[in-house]
Amino acid sequence: MTTSLNDRFKAFVSKLPFVKAIDDLKLPPGFDQSKRADFLIENGHAIIELKSLESDPKHKIDDELENHKERDEFPLFYGEVELGNILKYLPDGEEINEKLFYKLSRSVAQSFKDADRQIKATKDIFNCPDSIGLLVLLNESISILSPELISYRASQLLTMTSDDGNPHYRNITSVWVIFENFSLKTKSKTKFLPSIVIDGPGAKERLELNRLLNTLQKGWAGFNGVPYVTSETGRVSDSQFVRTSELDKRLQQPIRRHEVWREQYRANPYLESLSDDAVLSHGARLFSLMTPNFLKGGRKLPFDQMIQFMEGWTHFLEEVRTRGLDLKRFHEMGVP
């Protein structure tokens, strides 16, 4: 049976000579039952609290969209479409998107709340009030919790302030997010699993933090037998990543003809310079050319010509998916 990401990370950290598992330590009297963090680094120089994101909130998107499907503005799409491309057609789309964002990221916020309390308790137990607090978030399989979503929410929470103007989660210095369900997009077939660090306002004052994080990240890569590659980025975007499940599918299965056509179009998106109306008109024309071939008693097109039309139709659908065009507008063009 495959070992979970949570168990593997604990095994990795436990082998580091400068790290101690707090559960293995003898605690001072009165603190035996205290809710505490997971690991102590260099005798209290830093504290690590580990949280795994294990509850999939994807159903919250389906439930919310179900409430709007009967609206006249709700678009018609072919295939899987990004949420933003649906909500842009609704007058209150931004409001719905914001509500969904906080619903989807609720487990991240709960992790912050619990970790801040546990790191604070650990500081009290070992009398190390100036310790660096490192929250490690593990995402092994929840694809809806993407790098962009988690990074953005973590940044919000790190900079949130209380009424007195101090950081609300003052015991969390930085967050280290480890993904095993996404890979950085590259031309290589090698998986580059993202390991993202988001610093809080107090991180700049802790010069030793960079050394610690570099040691941990480099060690984690070595533990997993993968290359350690670093880069600086001001903003994490999902366009930089691909789901590992999708990558595995591409590598393991024979590529179907329509997938080849999709990849070819992505490499040369010749329709992207056209207006939305021109793209839809192009699709309507292709549809009308192909329709007789599928009708009983209709004129059958030569095989080579039909393949050419189907390739063009695939390119059209890929452009529609990228733009998030509403296919209801096809009816206005006489397409059934």
Q: Which amino acid is at 105?
A: S
**Dihedral of alpha carbons 70, 72, 73, 78, sign:** positive
Number of helical H runs and strand E runs in the chain: 12, 8
Predicted local confidence at residue 187, as pLDDT: 74
Q: Report DSSP letters for 241-261, one per residue.
A: EEEHHHHHHHHHSPPPHHHHH
Predicted local confidence at residue 52, as pLDDT: 96
The backbone torsions φ and ψ at residue 80, rounded to the nearest 5 degrees and listed phi first, read: -85, 130
Size (the chain), residues:
336
Predicted local confidence at residue 82, as pLDDT: 76
| Whole-angstrom distance, CA of residue 181 vs CA of residue 198 | 19
Show Cβ contacts of residue 150 under 8 Å, excluding neighbours closer than 6 positions: 53, 105, 108, 137, 139, 177, 196
Query: Residue 215's closest CA among 62, 50, 42, 31?
Result: 42
Residue 143 CA, distance from chain mean position: 6
Tokens of 323: 């733009």
Predicted local confidence at residue 32, as pLDDT: 58
Single pTM value for the model: 0.77
Predicted local confidence at residue 232, as pLDDT: 80
**3-state SS, residue 111:** helix
Predicted local confidence at residue 265, as pLDDT: 92
**Dihedral of alpha carbons 59, 62, 68, 74, sign:** positive
In tens digits, what is the pLDDT along the chain, a chain of 336 residues?
578 999 999 999 999 999 999 988 887 766 656 688 999 998 889 999 999 999 999 899 989 988 998 888 888 776 667 788 788 888 898 999 899 999 999 999 999 999 999 999 999 999 999 999 999 999 999 999 999 999 999 999 999 999 998 899 999 999 999 999 998 888 777 788 899 999 999 898 898 999 999 999 999 999 998 888 888 877 888 888 888 887 777 666 667 788 889 889 988 999 999 999 999 999 988 988 888 877 777 778 888 888 898 999 999 999 998 888 888 877 676 665
Q: Which amino acid is at 220?
A: W
**Helix, strand, coil percentages for the chain (3-state, nearest 5):** 50, 10, 40
| Whole-angstrom distance, CA of residue 140 vs CA of residue 50 | 13
Show Cβ contacts of residue 64 under 8 Å, excluding neighbours closer than 6 positions: 96, 99, 100, 103
Q: b/e per residue, 181-201, with b = 16+ CB within 10 A?
A: bbbbeeeeeebebbbbbbbbe
